[in-house]
């Protein structure tokens, strides 16, 4: 689907379906905004008609289809509600685009236009960006394994073009840039969704590493993949232990973005941010095996890695002016004769030892190696890890927000703000000294679980042992990485959460200042 901009009078829009969004109308005096009245006159007054009959008030869940007379260039007009103007934000606009496309698909429209709403609350380029993002996210489908996905067998033909129509006097270049960037970002989020939706029989650690290298080549990132021999040489005991039960060997992927023109310092000593993703391509629990109900969803236990791969794609495409390293620690957690066991003591990359009390707490083991490696190798200004880490976080926050923990208030605050702006809410969970102490071991330096209490925070407490003083934040996306409740911009399955949050954070980050 092509997303494009047209600066034109709406009545000039020759599309199969033209969506006309309206804010909630005044109940007593439901008069149309002037730009719509002009259009309506050209269409023979049908819109006013619908409103006079009381069939449309502009509420957020309303959509009414109107068939204009033969003079109209648009074949169908869709009146679509936007709710109260003072509540309108980027998320409402993203959903508006998604809802418009859904209605258009139902009518088998191939070309869709949307008359962009204007509100003083939001600058026009931001409106355009939100609508473009909503369109790309809303038309995402994971259908590559369906026989009937394309061509004349398809249940609905594909929408070819989505045109954002802005009125005559708008300034095109900033709108065009905003749309281009928003599409690149949403495409990157869709890439993350694809990776997480892909089943574990195809999305193995090796396959994930291949996708990351291919993507890196395409957008101009450096990329290095560590195989088992290199992981052994580097003493990555955590990643190796988790991966040793599977015939699909583990990998660590390092992607590097270092723009020619960037922030402070030379290309060699620029402040660096490390993004680290948990990439468990299937989490059966290992020897501490999970119950079978819902286990199939554990193919998305690499959603943190998917978010990092997606974010790195966007970071390169949008030319974010910082050095950013994306690390993916990927392995498959299976029970077998070669699997690691409860009671095993493993030596991690950092040199610390861990007694494995539960092989299902594997994410923290692979992350700990990646964090320690990133910290020593890059001495980053900040590190952020993303992981489907704990069922406890899913219970605490559900799908309503990503768990946010760390050792640096300014960094956490910045991520919280990025969450608000991007629509990917991150909510603070505590990380007390007690949570860290709970992870101390008796026969090894650490244990990998500490009972059921405060499971999200004790997992954070474990990770904290591998980051020292470096500003670090941990995003637990166990509840937000996957959904069974579809929305207009999110079908069931992988959400690609984290991509927008991380990219938003990085586009506001200023090195040198407290993060
Ligand atoms: N991948 C799971 C966490 C998870 C659960 C993600 C549900 C998404 C949805 C993780 O590896 C895990 O199994 N964690 C255990 C830790 C426990 C053994 C301390 C958990 O949360 O039950
Ligand atoms: Zn697990
Ligand atoms: Zn896991």
pLDDT digits (tens, 9 = 90+) for 163-207: 999 987 889 999 999 999 999 999 999 999 999 999 999 999 999
Nearest to 183 by CA among 405, 2, 441, 37: 2
- Side-chain-facing half-sphere of 306: CA atoms under 13 Å: 28
Nearest to 200 by CA among 285, 299, 280, 286: 299
Q: Hey, what are 442's tokens?
A: 């008796």
The pLDDT of residue 215 is: 98
pLDDT tens sequence across 268-307: 778 999 999 999 999 999 999 999 999 999 999 999 999 9
**What count of other Cβ atoms lies within 10 Å of the Cβ of residue 170?**
17
**pLDDT confidence bin for 30, thresholds 50/70/90:** confident
Report residues whose beta carbon is within 6 angstroms of any ligand 1 atom.
283, 301, 358, 360-363, 388-392, 394, 449, 455, 478
The pLDDT of residue 260 is: 84
To which H or E segment does residue 277 belong?
Answer: strand 272-283
Identify the DSSP state of 23.
Answer: P
Asked if residue 259 has pLDDT above 70, the reply is yes
Ligand 3: distance of its center to the CA of 96 in Å? 35
Asked if residue 255 has pLDDT above 60, the reply is yes
Angstrom distance (rounded) from CA 237 to CA 351: 9
User: Mean pLDDT across the stretch 457-462?
Assistant: 98
Asked if residue 156 has pLDDT above 90, the reply is no
The pLDDT of residue 351 is: 98
The pLDDT of residue 134 is: 98
Mean pLDDT, the chain, whole residue set: 95
Asked if residue 251 has pLDDT above 70, the reply is yes
Pocket test for ligand 1, best of 305, 355, 391, 484 (most atoms within 8 A of CB): 391
Residue positions annotated with a catalytic role: 290, 364
The pLDDT of residue 268 is: 74
Asked if residue 152 has pLDDT above 60, the reply is no
* Ligand at shortest distance from the CA of 293: 1
Cα of first residue to Cα of last residue in the chain, in angstroms, is 38
Pocket test for ligand 1, best of 360, 385, 459, 480 (most atoms within 8 A of CB): 360
Ligand 1: distance of its center to the CA of 326 in Å? 23
Asked if residue 8 has pLDDT above 60, the reply is yes
Angstrom distance (rounded) from CA 61 to CA 337: 55
Torsion angle, CA of 225/228/229/230, rounded to 10 degrees?
40
User: Mean pLDDT across the stretch 377-398?
Assistant: 98
Ligand 1: distance of its center to the CA of 388 in Å? 7
Asked if residue 514 has pLDDT above 60, the reply is no
Contact assessment for residue 273 and residue 323, using Cβ atoms and an 8 Å cutoff: yes
Can you tell me whether residue 31 is helix, strand or coil? Answer: coil
Asked if residue 264 has pLDDT above 80, the reply is no
Ligand 3: distance of its center to the CA of 178 in Å? 37
The pLDDT of residue 513 is: 62
Counting from 1 in the atom list of ligand 1, the atom nearest the Cα of 389 is 3
Angstrom distance (rounded) from CA 136 to CA 128: 12
Q: Can you state the angle between helices 172-197 and 303-317, rounded to 10 degrees? A: 150
The pLDDT of residue 155 is: 63
Place of tokens 């934040």: 473
User: Mean pLDDT across the stretch 310-322?
Assistant: 98
- Provide DSSP, 335-375: -STTS--TT-EEE-TTS-EEE-S-TT--HHHHHHHHHHHHH
Can you tell me whether residue 476 is helix, strand or coil? Answer: strand
Angstrom distance (rounded) from CA 384 to CA 416: 13
User: Mean pLDDT across the stretch 344-363?
Assistant: 98
pLDDT tens sequence across 91-125: 999 999 999 999 999 999 999 999 999 999 999 99
pLDDT tens sequence across 202-244: 999 999 999 999 999 999 999 999 999 999 999 999 999 999 9
Angstrom distance (rounded) from CA 244 to CA 249: 7
Of all protein residues, whose CA lies closest to atom 3 belonging to ligand 1? 390
Better-predicted residue by pLDDT, 318 or 30: 318
Q: Hey, what are 254's tokens?
A: 């390092």
* Ligand at shortest distance from the CA of 456: 1
High-pLDDT (> 70) share of the chain, %: 97
Asked if residue 20 has pLDDT above 80, the reply is yes
Counting from 1 in the atom list of ligand 1, the atom nearest the Cα of 393 is 21
Torsion angle, CA of 240/246/252/255, rounded to 10 degrees?
-170
The pLDDT of residue 206 is: 99
CA distances from 72 to 101, 149, 224, 415, 455 (A): 20, 33, 56, 47, 60
- Phi and psi at residue 478, in whole multiples of 5°? -55, -35
User: Mean pLDDT across the stretch 345-359?
Assistant: 98
User: Mean pLDDT across the stretch 54-78?
Assistant: 92
Nearest to 326 by CA among 100, 506, 85, 134: 506
pLDDT tens sequence across 430-453: 999 999 999 999 999 999 999 899
Q: Hey, what are 507's tokens?
A: 């586009």
Angstrom distance (rounded) from CA 115 to CA 93: 12
> What pairs with residue 18 in β-bridges?
77, 113
Ligand 1: distance of its center to the CA of 392 in Å? 8
- Phi and psi at residue 279, in whole multiples of 5°? -120, 55
The pLDDT of residue 150 is: 56
Asked if residue 261 has pLDDT above 80, the reply is no
């Amino acid at each position: 689907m092509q997303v494009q901009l047209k600066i034109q009078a709406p009545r000039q829009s020759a599309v199969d379906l033209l969506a006309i969004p309206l804010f909630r109308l005044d109940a007593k005096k439901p008069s149309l905004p002037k730009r719509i009245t002009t259009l309506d006159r050209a269409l023979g007054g049908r819109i006013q008609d619908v409103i006079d009959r009381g069939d449309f008030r502009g509420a957020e869940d309303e959509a009414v289809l109107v068939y204009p007379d033969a003079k109209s260039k648009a074949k169908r007009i869709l009146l679509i509600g936007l709710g109260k103007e003072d509540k309108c934000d980027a998320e409402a606009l993203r959903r508006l685009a998604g809802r418009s496309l859904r209605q258009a698909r139902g009518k088998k429209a191939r070309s869709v236009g949307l008359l962009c709403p204007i509100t003083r609350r939001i600058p026009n380029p931001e409106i355009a960006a939100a609508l473009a993002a909503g369109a790309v996210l809303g038309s995402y489908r994971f259908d590559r394994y369906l026989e009937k996905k394309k061509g004349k067998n398809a249940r609905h033909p594909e929408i070819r073009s989505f045109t954002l129509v802005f009125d005559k006097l708008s300034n095109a270049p900033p709108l065009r840039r905003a749309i281009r960037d928003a599409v690149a970002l949403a495409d990157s989020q869709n890439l993350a969704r694809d990776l997480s939706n892909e089943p574990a029989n195809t999305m193995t650690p090796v396959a994930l590493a291949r996708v990351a290298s291919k993507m890196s080549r395409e957008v101009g990132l450096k990329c290095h993949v560590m195989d088992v021999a290199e992981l052994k040489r580097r003493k990555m005991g955590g990643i190796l232990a988790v991966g040793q039960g599977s015939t699909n060997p583990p990998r660590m992927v390092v992607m590097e973005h270092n723009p020619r023109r960037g922030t402070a310092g030379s290309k060699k000593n620029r402040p660096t941010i490390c993004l680290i993703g948990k990439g468990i391509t299937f989490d059966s629990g290992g020897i501490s095996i999970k119950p079978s109900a819902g286990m199939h969803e554990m193919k998305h236990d690499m959603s943190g890695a998917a978010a990092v791969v997606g974010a790195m794609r966007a970071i390169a495409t949008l030319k974010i002016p910082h050095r950013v390293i994306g690390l993916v620690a990927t392995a498959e957690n299976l029970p077998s004769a070669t699997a690691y066991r409860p009671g095993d003591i493993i030596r991690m990359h950092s040199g610390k030892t861990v007694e494995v009390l539960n092989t299902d707490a594997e994410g923290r083991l692979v992350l700990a190696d990646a964090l320690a490696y990133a910290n020593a190798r890059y001495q980053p200004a900040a590190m952020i890890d993303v992981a489907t880490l704990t069922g406890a976080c899913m219970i605490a926050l559900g799908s309503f927000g990503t768990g946010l923990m760390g050792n640096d208030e300014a960094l956490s605050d910045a991520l919280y703000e990025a969450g608000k702006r991007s629509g990917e809410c991150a909510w603070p969970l505590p990380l007390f000294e007690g949570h860290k102490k709970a992870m101390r071991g008796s026969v090894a330096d650490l244990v990998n679980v500490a009972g059921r209490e405060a499971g999200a925070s004790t997992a954070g407490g474990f990770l904290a042992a591998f980051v020292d003083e470096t500003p670090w934040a941990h995003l637990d996306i166990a509840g937000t990485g996957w959904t069974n409740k579809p929305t207009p911009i999110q079908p069931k399955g992988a959400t690609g959460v984290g991509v927008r949050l991380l990219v938003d954070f990085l586009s506001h980050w200023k090195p040198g200042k407290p993060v």
